[in-house]
């Protein structure tokens, strides 16, 4: 028996022209881009389809762009009769998941993530923060490396993506030191990531507090389907919890591997990555070989997914 969960990507998955094919073919997708343009008072089609990589890479642009594209694709899947029974999203993708669950209105979410992007970018001066992906080293040794580099500044674990991939983040010198210690401790690779802010660390606590001011003005709806939260990898039971979880998420590690394991424990065996890129599918494959992984980001992948599900 097939049990479908949708998963939504976070920052870093963006590329120029994402979602364009589907928006041109499906009115429901086009309408999402129009709705975002009205909500933000900015031409989202121009930004996502026709701007530049540099403009799209600005955090305050990237976050609403990925959310808009993901929800546009979600609407196409719904129009094709493909619906999830649960959802999860990586970091920023959690907002797409909340929209998909019915708990958050898209027009509210897209305004929030624009501000979230600004707050996260502005909290730590450009050039001060860094992130690095550590490959093939166990959690205990990654924690030890962060601890032993902490005399150089703040460095913490930021993402537990899948077995064999943990992301660390913090102040640049401390991250570089921890990354080099990870290699000493046996990591296959320690790669600095092309981001300018140390996401999901205590350095961003202030950004979470600012975000709280905006989130408190939002009216959440009851959940139509379950969402697994990044912060604790548990299913969110009540709409009253959403605010606090989204605030904590900014400065807490993303427990992605645990989130996928939670869905697998609940019997989900088909994961569809909805939005740009295929990185979540790769992570899920490392978590379990016994699930089916599909993705939808353009017409070709949509056709393939529809065929697989028939």
- Give dist(CA 39, CA 108) in Å, integer: 8
Task: Kindly calculate the radius of gyration of the chain based on its CA atoms and give it in whole angstroms.
Answer: 19
Do 292 and 308 touch, CB atoms closer than 8 A?
A: yes
- 143 in catalytic set: no
Catalytic residue selected from 196, 200, 251, 301: 200
91 is catalytic: yes
CB atoms within 10 A of CB 257: 22
Indicate the helix (H) or strand (E) that contains 292. Answer: strand 292-296
Which of the following is catalytic: 70, 91, 101, 196? 91
DSSP of 14-38, one letter per residue?
A: --TTTTHHHHHH-HHHHHHHHHHHH
Residue 194 CB neighbour total at 10 angstroms: 8
| Cα–Cα dist 278/95, whole Å | 18
Task: Evaluate whether 100 touches 74 at the Cβ level (below 8 Å).
Answer: yes
What is the residue whose two structure tokens read 């939808």?
Answer: 296
Q: How far is Cα 56 from Cα 59, in angstroms, rounded to an integer?
A: 8
Task: Report the alpha-carbon distance of residue 27 to residue 48 in Å, rounded.
Answer: 17
Q: Report the C-alpha gap between 70 and 286 in whole angstroms.
A: 23
Rounded to 10°, the helix 172-184/139-149 angle is 130
Beta strands in 172-238 (DSSP E): 189-192, 227-228
Residues labelled catalytic: 91, 200
């Amino acid at each position: 028996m097939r049990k479908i969960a949708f998963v939504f990507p976070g920052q870093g998955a963006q590329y120029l022209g994402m979602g364009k094919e589907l928006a041109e073919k499906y009115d429901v997708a086009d309408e999402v881009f129009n709705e975002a343009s009205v909500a933000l008072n900015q031409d989202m089609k121009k930004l996502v389809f026709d701007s530049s990589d540099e403009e799209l890479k600005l955090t305050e642009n990237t976050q609403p762009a990925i959310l808009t594209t993901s929800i546009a694709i979600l609407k196409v899947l719904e129009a094709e009769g493909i619906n999830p029974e649960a959802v999860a999203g990586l970091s920023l993708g959690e907002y797409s998941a909340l929209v998909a669950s019915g708990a958050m209105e898209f027009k509210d979410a897209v305004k929030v993530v624009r501000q979230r992007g600004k707050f996260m970018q502005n909290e730590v001066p450009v050039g001060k923060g860094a992130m690095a992906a550590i490959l093939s080293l166990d959690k205990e040794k990654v924690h030890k490396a962060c601890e032993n580099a902490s005399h150089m500044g703040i460095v913490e674990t930021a993402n537990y993506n899948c077995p064999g991939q943990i992301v660390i983040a913090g102040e640049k010198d401390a991250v570089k030191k921890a990354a080099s210690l990870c290699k000493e401790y046996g990591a296959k690779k320690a790669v600095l990531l092309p981001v300018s802010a140390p996401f999901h660390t205590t350095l961003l606590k202030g950004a979470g507090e600012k975000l709280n001011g905006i989130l408190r003005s939002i009216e959440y709806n009851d959940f139509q389907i379950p969402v697994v939260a990044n912060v604790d990898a548990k299913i969110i039971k009540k709409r009253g919890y959403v605010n606090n979880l989204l605030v904590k998420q900014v400065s807490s590690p993303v427990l992605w591997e645990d989130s996928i394991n939670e869905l697998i424990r609940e019997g989900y065996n088909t994961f569809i990555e909805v939005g740009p890129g295929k990185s979540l599918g790769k992570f899920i494959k490392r978590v379990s070989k016994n699930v089916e992984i599909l993705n939808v980001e353009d017409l070709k992948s949509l056709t393939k997914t529809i065929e697989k599900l028939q």
